[in-house]
């Protein structure tokens, strides 16, 4: 089991930067995030309950006197150099999260000069903790600091989302970017993805957050994600014929959906029903957390997983095994898959005092999926911040 993030995870980034380039002008920490409940609701303009965590990516930068950029991914041991006037998606995947941000900044007319960047951290890649948003938001924040662009955090979140749309090709919602930039320590964010209003709910409860990593490569995540989004849009288009005010599934009640059930393809109906029910679960879960009814919160998490697995069909056998195994362990209040799906992690709420029992109890489940246990502990933390 890996503990919560160390405040020292920027040290190797600084050491490499100084060895290659000298002293950095800006050092930034950009966090990953968890989402307690509300999956695949963000791009349907619904509700989510995320939080940045005490794990993330450190970025060290300094400006250059020309228009060239140097990107060094420390954990991947990869490096890319290029000209800001010749930006285009790269055949390798890792640079596109960064190149997309550069493209969006220039497209919006913000002053951008050449720079050198080294980044790395303790955020597990591919685990559903949104390392992509951490990269995008971290770079947007860093360049805003480096070149004095005067951007606010909401603008940076929207810009980072657009970068993922344009250069990565994933039509993500804005939850990950909002959580990465705007979170507050020891709180979760109740975010309305329709108007981007949000409020913070204290998370001082006597529970711990554990992520169980399936270590399954999420090969289907992007295509499956975009397909689910298209199916939801198809459902909205059908219902708009009868209710012209409907703009997204956020505006659809279960009664309206069921009134026209026979006109839906069965798969499209299930996708839409899941999203509507998940929005209701987020509202109920937030109320349960505010009233400190943690067992009720956990039951809603379990229901969320069942919906994601059976109705939205973005789980996988490994996620189902880990979620099911966790729910019967002592001290576990709730467990569900987290993120886009088809791999990644389950998120588990575990009562204080039951941490070791949880880790030990999950070992047989990992054995059933043929994996060595990989469990991450984390806690709600603040959003992207400047260290230097």
- The backbone torsions φ and ψ at residue 269, rounded to the nearest 5 degrees and listed phi first, read -60, -45
The CA distance from 224 to 332, in Å, is: 30
Cα–Cα nearest to 175, from 157, 153, 152, 148: 157
Token digits for 260? Answer: 């026209």
The CA distance from 215 to 128, in Å, is: 11
SS3 breakdown of the chain: % helix, strand, coil, rounded to 5? 45, 20, 35
186 is catalytic: no
Of the residues 54, 122, 176, 320, only one is catalytic, namely: 176
Cα–Cα nearest to 166, from 97, 212, 245: 97
Please spell the DSSP secondary structure of 63-77, one letter per residue.
E-SSSEEEEEETTTT
Q: Which residues are CB-neighbours of 19 under 8 A, at least 6 positions away? A: none
List residues with catalytic annotation.
176
């Amino acid at each position: 089991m890996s503990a919560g993030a160390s405040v020292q995870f920027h040290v190797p980034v600084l050491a490499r930067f100084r060895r290659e380039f000298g002293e950095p002008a800006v050092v930034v920490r950009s966090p990953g995030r968890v989402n307690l409940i509300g999956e695949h609701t963000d791009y349907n303009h619904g509700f989510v309950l995320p939080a940045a965590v005490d794990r993330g990516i450190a970025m060290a930068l300094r400006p250059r006197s020309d228009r060239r950029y140097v990107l060094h991914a420390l954990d991947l041991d990869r490096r890319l150099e290029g000209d800001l006037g010749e930006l285009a998606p790269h055949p390798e995947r890792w640079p596109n999260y960064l190149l997309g941000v550069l493209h969006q900044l220039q497209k919006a007319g913000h002053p951008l000069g050449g720079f050198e960047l080294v980044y790395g951290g303790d955020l597990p890649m591919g685990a559903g903790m949104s390392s992509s948003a951490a990269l995008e938001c971290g770079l947007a924040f860093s360049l805003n600091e480096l070149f004095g662009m005067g951007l606010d955090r909401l603008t940076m979140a929207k810009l980072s989302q657009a970068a993922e749309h344009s250069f990565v090709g994933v039509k993500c919602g804005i939850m990950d970017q909002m959580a990465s930039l705007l979170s507050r320590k020891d709180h979760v964010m109740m975010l309305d993805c329709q108007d981007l209003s949000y409020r913070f709910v204290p998370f001082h409860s006597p529970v711990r957050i554990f992520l169980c990593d399936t270590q399954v490569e999420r090969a289907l995540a992007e295509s499956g994600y975009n397909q689910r989004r298209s199916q939801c849009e198809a459902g909205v288009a059908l219902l708009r014929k009868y209710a012209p005010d409907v703009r997204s599934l956020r505006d659809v009640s279960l009664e309206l959906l069921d009134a026209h059930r026979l006109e839906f393809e069965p798969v499209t109906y299930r996708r839409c029903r899941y999203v509507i029910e998940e929005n209701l679960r987020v509202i109920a879960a937030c109320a349960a957390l505010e009233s400190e009814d943690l067992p009720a919160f956990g039951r809603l998490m379990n229901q969320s997983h069942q919906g994601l697995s059976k109705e939205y069909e973005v789980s996988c056998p490994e996620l189902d095994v880990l979620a099911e195994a966790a729910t019967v362990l002592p001290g576990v209040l709730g467990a569900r898959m987290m993120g886009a799906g088809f791999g990644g992690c389950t998120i588990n709420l575990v009562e204080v005092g039951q941490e070791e029992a949880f880790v030990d109890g999950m070992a047989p489940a990992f054995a059933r999926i043929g994996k060595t246990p990989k469990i991450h502990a984390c806690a709600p933390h603040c959003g992207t911040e400047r260290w230097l």
